[in-house]
């Protein structure tokens, strides 16, 4: 049981990672997840936990999946503390693990693309941008809007109406001769996802150009195709955003196959 004084519950004082696991219990993207988790812990000043402790918790989640592919979520908090904001001088971190099935996206959507809407509330800059911290209320509110509107996902914009990310996925677009993804570091908003980082490295290794900057929403009209990604669902094409529509190019489907291949049983 979680202590009711746990600072993760009281203040969102902690981090989380959501890991996709193969049927054989393999974590193909674990190095990227661990790197982000350790970076977040350094920024928040959380007690250092060795990799072996995280992996021990992951093993419990894998065992609960009983030989099936699925998702394991790790949550680490600063642990119990007092009623004030000041952390205890000698915190005892809490490490939680939960496991569940993979989310289901139909083959039709994976091949023909998602319908996106524009979320009404912008994603404002914050000092902890990029971290998978436990304060996700802007994403919760945006996801409620997605459900009300009946979209598959919603695109979050900066206060200057620059596209940043979806509620739970990162954004890529294909332009003539290059790929583009928003510069979340410059925007000081959003989360640089693990699959986003893997895809950037994968594309660069293939000799392709990946541009990372901030640009107006209107420039997406000139894109040849769009897709969303995260470490659980892989690559999902986008066919419609508000009044705009795009075909699903073969180059996006090829990236989808490359991401899927990471999680084939091995």
In this prediction, what percent of the chain has a pLDDT beyond 90?
94
* 146, part of any domain: yes
Residue 1 lies in a domain: no
CA distance 229 to 236: 6
If asked whether residues 91 and 132 sit together in one domain, one would say no
Tokens standing for residue 238: 């986008």
Residue 2 is assigned to a structural domain of this protein: no
pLDDT at 156 over 80: yes
Average pLDDT in the chain: 95
Give the integer Cα–Cα distance in Å for 162 and 259: 27
201 part of a folded domain: yes
Domain's final residue, options 100, 125, 145:
100
pLDDT at 2: 86
Say what the pLDDT of residue 266 is: 54
Chain position carrying tokens 């003539």: 176
Q: How far apart are CA 228 and CA 235, in angstroms?
A: 6
Give CA–CA dist 150/78, Å, rounded. 37
**Does any domain span residue 116?**
yes
Least confident of 83-87, 174-178, 179-183: 83-87
What is the predicted pLDDT for the residue at 80? 94
Which CATH number fits the domain that encloses residue 50?
Answer: 3.30.470.10
Could you tell me the maximum CA-CA distance found in the chain, to the nearest angstrom?
55
Q: Are 236 and 110 in contact (CB under 8 A)?
A: yes
What number is the average pLDDT over the span 145-159? 98
Same domain, 146 and 233: yes
Does pLDDT of 130 surpass 80? yes
* Residue 190: pLDDT band with limits 50, 70, 90: very high
Residues 208 and 188 placed together within one structural domain of the fold: yes
Q: Is residue 24 located within the same domain as residue 94? A: yes
Kindly state whether residues 113 and 187 are assigned to the same domain.
Answer: yes
Residue 137 has pLDDT above 90, yes or no: yes
**Of 102, 118, 49, 91, which Cα lies nearest the Cα of 234?**
102
pLDDT at 82: 79
CATH number of the domain bearing residue 124: 3.20.10.10
Q: In the chain, what percentage of residues exceed pLDDT 70?
A: 99
Average pLDDT over residues 111-136: 95
The mean pLDDT of 64-79, rounded to a whole number, is 95
Provide the β-strand partners of residue 155: 118, 166
pLDDT digits (tens, 9 = 90+) for 75-88: 999 999 878 899 99
Q: Which of 41, 71, 100 is the last residue of a domain?
A: 100
Q: How far apart are CA 162 and CA 235, in angstroms?
A: 22
- Mean pLDDT lowest for which of 1-5, 12-16, 226-230? 1-5
The residue among 100, 126, 141 that closes a domain is 100
Residue 200 shares a structural domain with residue 158: yes
In a domain, 118, yes or no: yes
Q: Parallel, antiparallel, or unpaired for β 225-230 and 234-241?
A: antiparallel
- Quick one: 89 and 174 in the same domain? no
Number of compact structural domains in the chain: 2
Is 70 exceeded by the pLDDT of residue 265?
Answer: no
Q: Are residues 86 and 29 in the same domain?
A: yes
Q: Is residue 150 part of a domain?
A: yes
Same domain, residue pair 205 and 134? yes
Q: Which domain holds residue 52?
A: 7-100
Task: Give tens-digit pLDDT for 24-48.
Answer: 999 999 999 999 999 999 999 999 9
DSSP secondary structure letters along the chain:
---TTBHHHHH--EEEEEEEE-TT---TTHHHHHHHHHHHHHHHTPPP--HHHHHHHHHHHHHHHTTS-EEEEEEEE--B--SSSSPPSS---EEEEEEEPPPP--HHHHHH-EEEEE-SS-----TTTTS-BS--HHHHHHHHHHHHHT-SEEEEE-TT--EEEESSSEEEEEETTEEEEE-HHHHT-S---HHHHHHHHHHHHTT--EEEE---GGGGGG-SEEEEEETTTEEEEEEEETTEE----HHHHHHHHHHHHTTS--
Model pLDDT for residues 195-214, shown as the tens digit of each residue: 999 999 999 999 999 999 99
- Which residues, including other chains, have CB under 8 Å from residue 254's CB and lie 6 or more apart? none
Q: CB of 215 within 8 A of CB of 162?
A: yes
Residues 181 and 215 in one domain: yes
Residues 179 and 199 in one domain: yes
Mean pLDDT of 110-122: 97
> Pairing relation of β-strands 14-21 and 70-77?
antiparallel
167 and 233 both lie in a single domain: yes
Q: Residue 143 falls within a domain, yes or no?
A: yes
């Amino acid at each position: 049981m979680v202590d009711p004084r746990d600072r993760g519950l009281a203040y969102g004082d902690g981090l989380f990672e959501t890991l996709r696991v193969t049927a054989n219990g393999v974590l193909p993207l674990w190095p990227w997840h661990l790197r982000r988790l350790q970076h977040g812990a350094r920024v928040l000043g959380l007690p250092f936990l060795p990799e072996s402790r995280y992996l021990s918790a992951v093993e419990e989640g894998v065992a609960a999946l009983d030989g099936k592919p699925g998702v394991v979520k790790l949550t680490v908090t600063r642990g119990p503390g007092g009623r004030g904001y000041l952390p205890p001088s000698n915190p005892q971190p809490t490490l939680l693990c939960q496991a569940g099935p993979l989310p289901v996206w139909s083959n039709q959507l994976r091949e023909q693309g998602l319908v996106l809407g524009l979320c009404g509330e912008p994603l404002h800059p914050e000092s902890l941008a990029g971290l998978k911290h436990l304060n996700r209320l802007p994403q919760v509110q945006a996801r409620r809007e997605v459900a009300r509107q009946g979209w598959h996902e919603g695109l979050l914009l900066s206060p200057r109406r620059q596209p940043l990310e979806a509620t739970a996925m990162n954004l890529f677009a294909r332009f003539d001769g290059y790929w583009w993804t928003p510069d979340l570091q410059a925007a000081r908003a959003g989360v640089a996802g693990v699959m986003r980082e893997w895809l950037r490295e994968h594309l660069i290794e293939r000799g392709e150009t990946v541009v990372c900057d901030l640009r107006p929403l209107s420039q997406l009209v000139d894109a040849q195709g769009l897709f969303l990604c995260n470490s659980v669902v892989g690559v999902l094409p986008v066919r419609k955003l508000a009044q705009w529509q795009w075909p699903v190019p073969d180059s996006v489907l090829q990236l989808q196959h490359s991401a899927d291949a990471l999680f084939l049983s091995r």
